[in-house]
Amino acid sequence: MGWTAGPLTVRNQDQRLTAASREFRAADLPACEESPSPTLEEVNAWAQSFDNLMVTPAGRNAFREFLRTEFSEENMLFWLACEELKKETNKNIIEEKARIIYEDYISILSPKEVSLDSRVREVINRNMVEPSQHIFDDAQLQIYTLMHRDSYPRFMNSSLYKDLLQSLAEKSIEA
């Protein structure tokens, strides 16, 4: 069992992308989520915990911008794609989105492949025969933990974060 599965094809599915999946392709995701500018309180809260950062669109956008500078933005894109998949209820769209996520982030052929251990990867490969909206939960947790331990501390020390904090602090003094 030392082989890895190539790109998987979903049975009885025509290969043309549906409108739903076209909208979903990671390459087409906007550079950032729509969100109001963060408040000083929010930006301060990001320093308290990674969860505080990830729970707000403004926090995810700032962190995603930082990940781009570290060439690891695919971690956030994968996490966001998994969040979208969890909201889906239509079986056909779940299969389509799961296939796209697989091709974009799980496949070893993808330039945006995320770093997962072999156990998680094997479970996904087995479950791709009949994907559910929770097929990537273990992988998503692994990537969340990786971002938390690895990138988040660097983000907190980055000029991107410090400059944002300083500009908001200055605005609040002027107000």
Residue 175 and residue 170: Cα distance in Å, rounded?
9
pTM of the model: 0.79
> Is the four-CA dihedral 160, 28, 38, 141 of positive or negative sign?
negative
- Give me the architecture of the 38-174 domain, per CATH: Orthogonal Bundle (1.10)
Query: pLDDT by residue (tens digit) across 134-152?
Result: 999 999 999 999 999 999 9
Q: How many CB atoms lie within 10 A of CB 21?
A: 16
Is the separation of the CB atoms in 53 and 165 below 8 Å? no
Cα radius of gyration rounded to whole Å, the chain:
18
Query: pLDDT by residue (tens digit) across 97-128?
Result: 999 999 999 999 999 999 999 999 999 999 99
Task: Indicate the domain borders of the chain.
Answer: 38-174
Residue scoring higher pLDDT (117 or 24):
117
For residue 55, give both structure tokens: 């729970």
Examine the pLDDT at 16 and tell me if it is beyond 70.
no
Task: From 167, 136, 142, 152, select the one nearest 48 (Cα to Cα).
Answer: 152
